Every structure is written in structure tokens, then in C-alpha cells.
Amino acid sequence: MLRFRYPNRALESGTSLLEVLITIVIIAFGLLGLASLQSKFQVAEVESYQRVQATLLMDDISERINADRGQAASYVSADPIGTDDSQPADCSGLALGAPRDICEWSLALKGASETKSTAKVGGMIDARGCITQIQASDPTPGTCTPGIYEVTVIWRGLHQTIAPGSSCGKFQTDDTYRRAITTRISVGLPDCQ
């Protein structure tokens, strides 16, 4: 007749505790990985938000220049506009046209559209904009060259990358954190033949 032997319980003591500890360690590493992934998602979300803001602000000033074609050269600025510029906090006292458009663009770059207490929080980090003239318009008959302007918006990113080629705002922040987008505007001469 066969007899069943029951295992010795003394030899198995502590095995369950060891399995629980190993499970806890594995879960802890998994949770650390998830936390790291979540922080990377958050950085990517902020970077994406800033890029969208920069694109909207670049389009805004480009449309303003296009709307005031006759005074397009008045929009050119020697210094970056936005963070740390000398534009007033209230643009209502400025005449319509380039001075007021530049002032309003400066406020938008500084994030004035949204505030928390007295801090402006609606924009990008260290946002600046540059408007440069690439080619002056020439209405001389036979020549008729349009004016070409370059609009650049820069801001500070959250992680290092390769510095952009644009000189707008160069060395005002660590160039490896600087982000930039640029567009060119051609201001034609409709009366030119």
C-alpha cells in the first residue's frame, strides 16, 4: 500500500515572505518607471504648449505687418521685443499702427493674456521676438522689388538641445535651451508696374 508523505513544514517556513518581498521590489521598480515616464510626458506637454504659443504669436505679428504694408519697415526693431524690453505695460496710449502693434505683441510675448495674482503666466518662458528687414522694398519702375521681413520668436525650453541658427535673443539665455521659429513675410508693391 502506498503511503503519502507530507512535506515537512519546518523546511518551507519563510518562503512566502521571500516571495512577497520580491514582488514588492518588482512593483517598486515598475512604479519608478511610470513616475519617470509621467515626468517626461509633462515636459513634452509644456514644450508643445510653448511651440504652439510661439507659432500663434508669430502669425499674429505677421498678419499685423501684412495689414499695415505701407509701414512695414516701422515694425523692424534693433533689440528683441518681449521679456526685458522697454515697452509700456499699457498700450492704450500709443497711436494705432506699428508702435501699438509692437507694444501689444510685447505684452503677448510676456504672457499678459493670463495672470495669477500679479504674475503674467499666459506665455512662454523668457519669450522674445525679433523683426528684421532682409530686403528693402524698391518701387522704382522696372525694379519693383518687394520688402522681405523675417519674424522670429524665441523662448526657453525645458531641456538642452542643439542651439538654433537664428541670432534673435542669442546669448540672452543658455543657447542650448533656446528654441526659435522663424517665418519670412514678403510685402509686395501692388502699384508697381
**Mind listing the pLDDT tens digit for each residue in 80-108?**
998 888 888 888 888 889 999 999 999 99
Cα(108)–Cα(98) distance, integer angstroms: 15
Report the chain's mean pLDDT, rounded to a whole number.
86
Q: Could you tell me if 97 and 73 are in contact, meaning their C-beta atoms sit under 8 angstroms apart?
A: no
Strand partners, 153: 129, 181
Tell me if 6 is assigned to some domain. no
Does a structural domain hold residue 70? yes
192 within some domain:
no
C-alpha to C-alpha distance for 113 and 18, rounded to whole angstroms = 58
Would the pTM of this model clear 0.95, i.e. be above it? no
Q: How many domains does the chain have?
A: 1
Flag whether 145 is in a domain: yes
CA gap 156, 124 in Å, rounded: 7
Residue 193 placed within a domain? no
User: Can you give the residue range of the structural domain that contains 57?
Assistant: 12-187
Give domain status of residue 7, yes or no.
Answer: no
Q: Is residue 23 part of a domain?
A: yes
Look at residues 186, 164, 145, 178 and name the one whose alpha carbon lies nearest to residue 62: 186
Let me know if residue 2 belongs to a domain.
no
Q: In Å, what is the CA distance from 9 to each residue of 3, 13, 18? A: 18, 7, 16
Q: How confident is the model at residue 139 (pLDDT cuts 50, 70, 90)?
A: confident
